[in-house]
Structure 1
Amino acid sequence: MLSTTGSEAYGYPLLIRHLLVNVADQSDAEIVSGDLRFSYRDFVDRVTRLAGLLAARGVRAGDTVAVMDWDSHRYLECYFAIPMMGAILQTVNVRLSPAQIDFTLRQSGAAFLLHHADFTHLCDQLLPGLPQIGGVIVMEGAADEDGYEALIAATSPDFAFADFDENAIATTFHTTGTTGDPKQVFFSHRQLVLHAITLAATLANQPDGQGLRRTNVYMPMTPMFHVHAWGMPYAATMLGVKQVYPGRYDPATLLALKQREDVDFSHCVPTILRMLLDAARGERLAPWTFVIGGAPLPLALAQEAAAAGITTLVGYGMSETGPIITLARSAPEDIAGRCRAGFPALLVQARIDTAHGGELLLRAPWLTQGYATQADSDALWAGGWMHTGDVGAVDPDGALRIVDRLKDIIKTGGEWVSSVDLEDLLVAQPGIAEAAVIGIPDTKWGERPAAFLVASQGAQPPDPDQLCAALEHHVTSGRISRYAIPERLLMVDALPRTSVGKIDKKALRLLLAE
Structure 2
Amino acid sequence: MGYYNYNLTVDKLLDYGSTVYSSKEIVYRDRRRYTFSKFRERVEAFAQSLLKIGVKPGDKVAVVDWDTDVYMTAYYAVPMIGAVLHTVNVRYPPEVMLKTVLHAEDKWAIVRDEFTPLLEKGKAFLGGLKGVITYSDEREKVKTSFPTHDFWELQESGERLPPQEIKEDMQATVFYTSGTTGEPKGIWFTHRDLVLHSMSVALTTSKPPLRSSQDDNFMILVPMFHVHQWGFPYVTMLVGANYVLPGRYDPAMEIELMRKEHVTFSAMVPTILYMILSHPNASKYPEVFKGWKVMIGGSALPTELAYAARKMGINIAVGYGMSETAPVLTVAYYTPEVEKLPEEDRFLQQIKTGVPIPLSQVRVVDEKGNDVPRDEKTVGEIVARAPWLTRSYYKDPERTEKLWKDSWLHTGDLAVVDKYGYIRIVDRDKDAIKSGGEFIPSLILEDIISTHPKVGEVAIVGMKDEKWGERPVAFIVPKGDLKEEEIRQFLLTKVEEGKLQKWWIPDRFVFVKEFPKTSTNKIDKKALRNQLSSG
**What is aligned with 1:51?**
47
C-alpha distance in 2 between matches for 1:454 and 1:190: 38
Which has the higher mean CA deviation after the structures are superposed, 320-329 or 232-241? Answer: 232-241
Whether the aligned pair in 2 keeps the contact of 1:302 and 1:335 (CA below 8 Å) is no
Q: Secondary structure at the match of 1:21?
A: helix
Give the AA of the match of 2:324: E
Contact 2:42 2:156 in 1 (8 A): no
Deviation at 1:453, TM superposition (A): 6.2
Question: What is the alpha-carbon root mean square deviation over aligned residues?
Answer: 2.9
Which has the larger displacement, 240-249 or 176-185? Answer: 176-185
Q: Distance in 2 between matches of 1:103 and 1:513?
A: 34
Q: Report the AA paired with residue 353 of structure 2.
A: A
Give the aligned residue type for 2:208: P
Distance of 2:198 and 2:105 partners within structure 1: 27
Rounded Cα–Cα distance in structure 2 between residues aligned with 1:164 and 1:10: 14
The answer for the alignment partner of 2:325 in structure 1 is 321
Amino acid at match of 1:355: E
Match of 1:368 in 2: 390
Instruction: Give the aligned residue type for 2:177.
Output: T
Deviations 1:23-47 (A, max 9, x none): 2232121111131111111110011
Q: How far is 1:400 from its partner?
A: 1.1
State the match for 1:207 in structure 2.
208
Matched with 1:78 is 74
* Residues 163-188 of structure 1 deviation map (CA, whole Å, 9 limit, x = unaligned): 23211100000013252211001100
> Judging changes above 3 Å, is the alpha-carbon distance between structure 1 residues 192 and 456 closer, same or farther for their aligned structure 2 residues?
closer
TM-score normalised by L of structure 2: 0.75
Deviations 1:324-344 (A, max 9, x none): 000012455433211101110
Letter of the structure 2 residue corresponding to residue 14 of structure 1: L
Counterpart of 1:30 in structure 2 is: 25
The Cα offsets for residues 37-94 of structure 1, whole Å up to 9 and x where unpaired, read as 1111111001111112211221111100000110011111100000010000000000
1:91-149 deviation digits (Å, cap 9, x = unpaired): 00001011111110000000000111110111111133110011001121154367856
- Other structure's SS at 1:162 match: coil
The separation in 1 between residues aligned to 2:133 and 2:68, in whole angstroms, is 16
**Structure 2 CA distance, aligned partners of 1:226 and 1:46?**
24
1:288 aligns with 2:300: no
Q: Is it true that 1:387 corresponds to 2:381 in the alignment?
A: no
Q: Which residue is 2:353 aligned to?
A: 341
- Scaled by the length of structure 1, the TM-score of the pair is 0.78
Identity %: 36
Return the offset for 1:350. 1.3
Contact 2:46 2:156 in 1 (8 A): no
Give the 3-state SS of the residue equivalent to 1:362 in structure 2: strand
Question: In structure 2, what is the equivalent of residue 140 of structure 1?
Answer: 136
CA drift at 1:370: 1.0
Distance 1:103 1:153 in 2: 29
Distance 2:509 2:226 in 1: 26
159, 166, 169: which one aligns with 1:167: 169
Checking the alignment, whether the CA contact within 8 Å between 1:86 and 1:170 is kept in structure 2 is: yes
Contact 2:168–2:190 (8 Å) recurs in 1: yes
Q: Is the contact made by 2:180 and 2:430 (CA closer than 8 Å) also made in structure 1?
A: no
Structure-2 separation of matches of 1:140 and 1:408: 39
Mapped to 1, the partners of 2:329 and 2:244 lie a distance apart of 25
Which residue, out of 350, 353, 375, partners 2:365?
353
- 1:51 and 1:159 in contact (8 A); partners too: yes
- Structure 1 Cα separation of the partners of residues 399 and 83 of structure 2: 25
Q: Structure 1: 5+ residue runs without aligned partners?
A: 1-6, 410-418, 421-437, 439-449, 458-498
- Secondary structure of 2:278's counterpart equals helix
Moved more, 181-190 or 145-154: 145-154
The DSSP-based 3-state class of the residue aligned with 2:330 is strand
Give, in whole Å, the separation in 1 of the partners of 2:79 and 2:222.
21
What is the DSSP-based 3-state SS (H/G/I as helix, E as strand, rest coil) of the residue aligned with 2:133? strand
The reply to whether residue 403 of structure 1 matches residue 405 of structure 2 is no
For residues 379-418 of structure 1, give each alpha carbon's deviation from its aligned partner in whole angstroms, at most 9, with x where no partner exists: 0001000000011221111111111112469xxxxxxxxx
* Cα distance in structure 2, aligned partners of 1:74 and 1:263: 21
Distance 1:311 1:8 in 2: 50
Bigger mean CA offset, 349-358 vs 318-327: 349-358
Q: CA deviation at 1:8?
A: 1.2
Higher mean C-alpha displacement, 63-72 vs 238-247: 238-247
Deviation sequence 1:233-273 (CA, Å, 0-9, x none): 11112332101000011010000000000001111111111
- Residue aligning to 2:228: 228
**Amino acid across the alignment from 2:214:** R
Do the aligned partners of 2:46 and 2:158 also contact (CA within 8 Å) in 1? no
Rounded Cα–Cα distance in structure 2 between residues aligned with 1:290 and 1:95: 24
Give, in whole Å, the separation in 2 of the partners of 1:21 and 1:278. Answer: 40
Q: Secondary structure at the match of 2:367?
A: helix
Q: Tell me the amino acid that sits aligned with residue 160 of structure 2.
A: D
Q: Which amino acid aligns with 2:157?
A: T
Give the secondary structure class of the aligned counterpart of 2:110: strand
Alpha-carbon deviation of 1:452? 4.3
Deviations 1:12-32 (A, max 9, x none): 011111112232232121111
Measure the CA separation in 2 of the matches of 1:153 and 1:60.
17
Partner residue, 2:188: 186
1:8 to 2, 19, 25: 2
CA contact (8 A) 2:43 2:155 kept: no
Residue in structure 1 matched with residue 303 of structure 2 by the alignment: 299
Pairwise CA distance, 1:513: 6.1
Q: Quick one: distance in 1 between partners of 2:462 and 2:86?
A: 37
| Distance in 1 (alpha carbons) for counterparts of 2:75 and 2:66 | 13
Task: After TM superposition, give the deviation of residue 301 of structure 1 in Å.
Answer: 0.4
* Secondary structure of 1:166's aligned partner: coil
Per the alignment, in what secondary structure is the counterpart of residue 272 of structure 2? Answer: helix
Distance in 2 (CA, whole Å) between partners of 1:178 and 1:376 is 12
The AA in structure 1 aligned to 2:421 is G
**Against the structure 1 CA distance between its residues 23 and 513, is the aligned structure 2 distance closer, same or farther, given a 3 Å change threshold?**
farther
Unaligned runs of 5+ residues in structure 2 are 143-148, 369-378, 435-441, 443-460, 469-498, 514-535
Q: Specify whether residues 511 and 386 from structure 1 end up closer, same or farther in structure 2 by C-alpha distance, changes over 3 A only.
A: farther
Distance in 2 (alpha carbons) for counterparts of 1:455 and 1:190 = 39
| Separation in 2, partners of 1:451, 1:157 | 52
Contact 2:107 2:131 in 1 (8 A): yes
CA 1:25–1:451 in 2, change beyond 3 Å: closer, same or farther?
closer
| Structure-2 change in CA distance of 1:52 and 1:291 (3 Å) | same
